[in-house]
Amino acid sequence: MSLTQDELKTLVGQAALQYVTPGTIVGVGTGSTVDKFIDALAASGLAVAGAVSSSVRSTERMKALGIRVLEAGEVTSLPVYIDGADEIDHAGHMVKGGGAALTREKIVADLAERFVCIADESKLVPVLGAFPLPVEVIPMAAAQIARRFAALGAQATLRAGVVTDNGCQILDVRGLQITDPKAFEADVNQWPGVVTVGVFARNRASVCLLGTAAGVKTLVF
């Protein structure tokens, strides 16, 4: 019997526990797959010193389960950051931001020595871009940035009703094929008004735990 997407998320959430060292502070991302990891961490009895969270949502979930949450500014580094992805390619580059937390996710990822991505196999792609690329923008610049994407042959639309934890807006960009994620990330991040582009190439995954019909597959990059 094949597993549901929810069951695959539970599997990879539990598998990520092997990358958590007792007594350390763990970086924790955002999203439905990460929720499974938070639940597994709380149930495991693993005594962590605390967690640095990338979103209000994850912070509230961890506090409710008795996990101590620290601010990013309280730590100088993290041994591991565990988060999901909307897409991941075969080199560990990712598209993230479906949950609108991409800037904080990138900040916490940048503190970490190792990024462990947890995802189901539908997220593994040969080329990034099929999933609409989230870009967090300062509201004043949204129309201007949308025009820049249009010049690249892509369509950027404002995500209706969404204000990020940073008080900004999200553009979702369709029609891209991101063949050089590192160069693309570096370029778009320079556009005035862009807070963060949802390509994680500089902060790519070191490991991906992929939920498949045959169980959890470990990809190392």
H helix count then E strand count, the chain = 6, 14
- Residue 31 is labelled as binding a ligand: yes
Q: Which of 87, 105, 136, 185 is catalytic?
A: 105
- Residue 2 is labelled as binding a ligand: no
- Residue 83 is labelled as binding a ligand: yes
Q: Are 109 and 72 in contact (CB under 8 A)?
A: no
Q: Half-sphere exposure of residue 179, counting CA atoms within 13 Å on the CB side?
A: 0
- Residue 85 is labelled as binding a ligand: yes
- Residue 45 is labelled as binding a ligand: no
- Residue 97 is labelled as binding a ligand: yes
- Residue 129 is labelled as binding a ligand: no
Query: Which amino acid does the sequence have at 186?
Result: A
- Residue 182 is labelled as binding a ligand: no
- Residue 30 is labelled as binding a ligand: yes
Of 38, 20, 43, 37, nearest to 118 by C-alpha is: 37
Beta-carbon count within 10 A of 220 CB: 8
What DSSP line would sit under 59-110, residue for residue? HHHHHHTT--EE-GGG-S-BS-EEE--SEE-TTS-EE--TTS-HHHHHHHHH
Indicate if 105 belongs to the active site.
yes
**Which residues fall in the annotated binding site?**
30-33, 83-86, 96-99, 123
Q: Residues with catalytic annotation? A: 105
**Which residues fall in the annotated binding site for substrate?**
30-33, 83-86, 96-99, 123
